[in-house]
Amino acid sequence: MNQLPTINNKNEKQKIINFLKKTLKEQNKEKVVLGMSGGIDSATSFYLLKKAVAPENILIAHLYYFQSKLKNFTNVLKRANIPNKNIYEISIKNSVDELKKILNIPNEDKIRLGNIMARIRMIMLYDFAKKNNALVLGTEDKSEFLLGYFTRFGDEASDIEPIRHLYKTQIYQLAKYLGVPKEIVKQKSSPDLWSGQTAEKELGFSYEEADVILYLYKDKKISLEKIKQAGFLNAQKIIDWANKNSFKHHLPYTP
């Protein structure tokens, strides 16, 4: 009861590659836009995407506010033969700061400012997609989805979600198998919406804890009381977090 099932890396890799190819064929599209943050989810998504789509049909957008992290991927993109003209490295700082001024967002309101960053990135990704007749590839994992740890109409917005069925710890497992650089696999997960932000610091629990509890509660339908009795100290906190954000999965409300 106390562990998340491991995945078959080889089968999972092929399943996702087949899914990407099938979806693009069904939608009569050849090109894909990927927002490359520099984190584990976007890196893993890229390693899968490059097995499914020709290099000239992959567009990479690194849209940063603080400082660019694209140098961490320079060699990876070169080895994948992604053309330079397909790589967008753009600071969103001026756009975010202008909206911050217009909307009178105080410096201490990190959530509002972070939402602005995520939604500006979404606007740009979809503009690149429209310009190039492409689909936007999402990079959300199951842990973030179930916890509601995303910005509506921001980092949640996508046309294809290849890894949303995998928990964060399973993403790490798959990333190692795919050969994602160690420095990316080792770094702390972060939406990078404010300086020093890490997902686990903001959440107040680790993904290792959350993934097991979410799996037992959401997938296996085991009661919260039984999970707590099994010794999971943060079970209440994790399920409360998921429940308070569950409204995000039901919007918009309609009659």
pLDDT for the residue 73: 87
Within a domain: 130:
yes
pLDDT for the residue 3: 79
pLDDT for the residue 195: 66
Sequential DSSP letters for 63-123: EESS---GGGGHHHHHHTT--GGGEEEEE-HHHHHHHHHHTT--TT-HHHHHHHHHHHHHH
Within a domain: 83:
yes
Within a domain: 234:
no
pLDDT for the residue 239: 97
pLDDT in tens, the chain (255 residues): 667 888 999 999 999 999 999 999 999 999 999 999 888 999 999 999 999 999 999 999 999 998 898 888 888 999 999 999 999 999 999 999 999 999 999 999 999 999 999 999 999 999 999 999 999 999 999 999 999 999 999 999 999 999 999 999 999 999 999 999 988 888 776 666 666 667 777 788 899 999 999 999 999 999 999 999 999 989 999 999 999 999 999 989 999
pLDDT for the residue 251: 87
Domain count, the chain: 1
List the CATH number of the domain containing 159.
3.40.50.620
Range of the domain at 41: 9-200
Within a domain: 178:
yes
pLDDT for the residue 91: 97
Which residue type does 95 have?
Answer: S
Within a domain: 247:
no
Within a domain: 149:
yes
Q: What is the dihedral of CA 86, 89, 93, 98, to 10 degrees?
A: -30
Within a domain: 217:
no
Within a domain: 22:
yes
Closest CA to 137 of 67, 74, 44, 68: 44
